[in-house]
Amino acid sequence: MSAFCPAGSAPVGHARTPAPVPRARLRPLALAAALLTLLAGCASPEGLKDEGRARQVTAPLDLWPRNSPAPLRENENPAALKPLPELPRIPSGDMGHADPLAVLDADFAASGAAPPAPGSVRRPELHDLTDDGKPDLIAVVDVDRRTSELRVYTVRKTVVTRILALRGVLAGVELAAGHLAIREPTKDPRYVSVTDYVWDGNSMGLWDLTLDLAHKPKPTTSGAAPAAGPP
């Protein structure tokens, strides 16, 4: 019996004609012969090919393992709490009772910076980020056409307190289930980095860092302006 190979390939070899065996042993022998044929396979007419040297898999090489950066200073930590006691107290704990421009002026002045121009401040937003049932203040100051300052304020023991301060290129700011997600562009225009902050009971802790698809700008609708109605 010879091994059968598809057209275009050479048989590996020929097996001698087996001696007569009892019928009860024919089925096991047939299965064994089929298994040997599968294991042997059919030789390629071109023979074996060298695909090159296999790359070795090694663990990452840690460069300068004994060096580590110093921890963030308080003025470098975006989630560092900063009370603003010079502002009027808010017994209700509701940041809706505060003047957003006065809050920003006091915060910038406390850092030795000039107060932001009123035209550079976006419309303030009030949302509960600290999960106390009272709104907190989210403010953005556009430093220039690309860079912005985002700051979040709450009330702690009647004192207006800054709980988050970020400076960067804001590709988007989103709220979902108490999470504040900051979207910033990357070198690849298809993706943005997303920094997710959430209140942990004491501060706006960093929750997650991810990449996401960049939002495509919505097309502007063009057309004639609607006709003016009667005076």
Name the β-bridge partners of 206: 197
More confident residue, 169 or 60: 169
Across the chain, mean pLDDT equals: 81
pLDDT reported for residue 51? 72
| Residue 21 and residue 29 in contact, taking contact as beta carbons nearer than 8 Å | yes
- Average pLDDT score over residue span 214-226: 61
**Predicted confidence (pLDDT) at residue 70 exceeds the cutoff of 90:** no
Question: Which of 160, 201, 195, 162 minimizes the C-alpha distance to 179?
Answer: 195
pLDDT reported for residue 229? 43
**Predicted confidence (pLDDT) at residue 45 exceeds the cutoff of 60:** no
pTM above threshold 0.75:
no
More confident residue, 215 or 12: 215
CA–CA separation, 107 and 90 (whole Å): 16
- Average pLDDT score over residue span 87-95: 97
What is the 3-class SS of 45-92, one letter each residue? Answer: CCCCCCCCCCCCCCCCCCCCCCCCCCCCCHHHCCCCCEECCCCCCCCC
More confident residue, 85 or 53: 85
